[in-house]
Amino acid sequence: METSDKAWRKEMVPVLSVLNMKGGVGKTTVSAHVMRVLYHRQQKRVLLVDLDPQFNLTQALLTQADYDDILEAKKTVMAAFEPQPSNDFFKVKSTKNAPPAASSLTKRLRQIGKGEKAKLDIIPGAFDLMKYTMIDDPAQLKIASDHFKWFISTAKNEYDLIVLDCNPSSSFVTKCALENSTHVLSPVRPDKFSVLGVGMVDRLFQHLSLAPVHMTLINGVRRYDPASPVEIELKAHPKFGATVLGQRLNVSTHLEAHPSYTGFATDRKGPYSSVLRAEIGKIADEISHRLGGWS
């Protein structure tokens, strides 16, 4: 049995889904680079979970050699949904055993000092997540969703913040993420279609027993450009206006994916790199504040 103090601390651990129902809005950029700065500034234990079957977050942060080793060891996000190996693509493997500890599946990305007080870990994604789009048996999917819920609950014992990098679709995996989230962060580019994606996320909240706290981050704008008509409209929106963060994530070549570079944008050197780190730091601080008592 958990002590009341331990149970309270576990309950207070935020689970943040990074999601917009439109792709190409900078979701992976936020999950990787903003969270890297947030972990360092707050000096907390942060877990990134790649829930996108395309696993772009994993590809951005891990080398091919590292990922090959992870696949061989069966230490991907699939273990959060069912025991591994799960060789049947149309059936979910069930078990009465507890899911594996989150830390047993992770790849350490960064840490401060020698202990476990401040660390940034990732549970890598996998193409195999696509299997859950092929299964239409509610009983089978419930096995996976219950296992994932249990997994997230136990992960709260090891981490201070859990970040779920979601794919831009109303899939079973996205539903699992939202059902276990306390907060949702939606990156939005200054165009009408990105805003429509935010509206769709909000509509999904209506099907949850408890809606997460919603945050919206304007992304992909030029540093010295004034607010676009779309940004002005979004901030004035009677429902979404309060969700918009005061800080914006500006365009930077450091944030662009490069085949020759694996890792965090804020670790790269070059023109305006210190400016970028300072700007992302302000975003990280604002997100931390909106996470409530976490910071």
Annotated domain spans of the chain: 4-294
Note down pLDDT in tens along the chain; length 295 residues.
555 555 655 678 999 999 987 777 778 889 999 999 999 999 999 999 999 999 999 999 999 999 999 999 999 999 999 999 888 889 999 999 999 999 999 999 999 988 788 999 999 999 999 999 999 999 999 999 999 999 999 999 999 999 999 988 879 999 999 999 999 999 988 887 877 888 888 888 988 989 999 999 998 888 888 888 888 988 998 888 999 999 999 877 667 766 767 888 778 777 777 888 999 999 999 999 999 855 5
CATH code for the domain defined by 4-294: 3.40.50.300
**Rounded to whole angstroms, how far apart are CA atoms 164 and 47?**
8
The widest CA-to-CA distance across the chain, in whole angstroms, is 56
Give every CB contact of residue 117 below 8 A, 6+ residues apart in sequence.
43, 45
**Rounded to whole angstroms, how far apart are CA atoms 166 and 20?**
8
CA atoms within 13 A on the CB side of 118: 13
Sheet holding 118-123, edge to edge: 107-112, 118-123, 45-50, 161-165, 15-18, 183-188, 213-221, 249-250
Task: Give the H or E element holding residue 204.
Answer: helix 192-205
What's the length of the chain? Answer: 295
**Rounded to whole angstroms, how far apart are CA atoms 183 and 123?**
19
Please give the DSSP secondary-structure letter assigned to residue 156.
T
pTM: predicted TM-score of the whole model, two decimal places: 0.92
The tokens describing 4, both together, are: 């009341």
- Answer for the pair 44, 293: CB distance below 8 angstroms, yes or no: no
* Cα 61-62-68 angle, rounded to 5 deg: 155
- Answer for the pair 150, 98: CB distance below 8 angstroms, yes or no: yes
The tokens describing 33, both together, are: 């680079």
Question: Residue 236: how many CB atoms within 10 A of its CB?
Answer: 10
> Using alpha carbons only, how large is the chain's radius of gyration in Å?
19
Please give the DSSP secondary-structure letter assigned to residue 55.
-
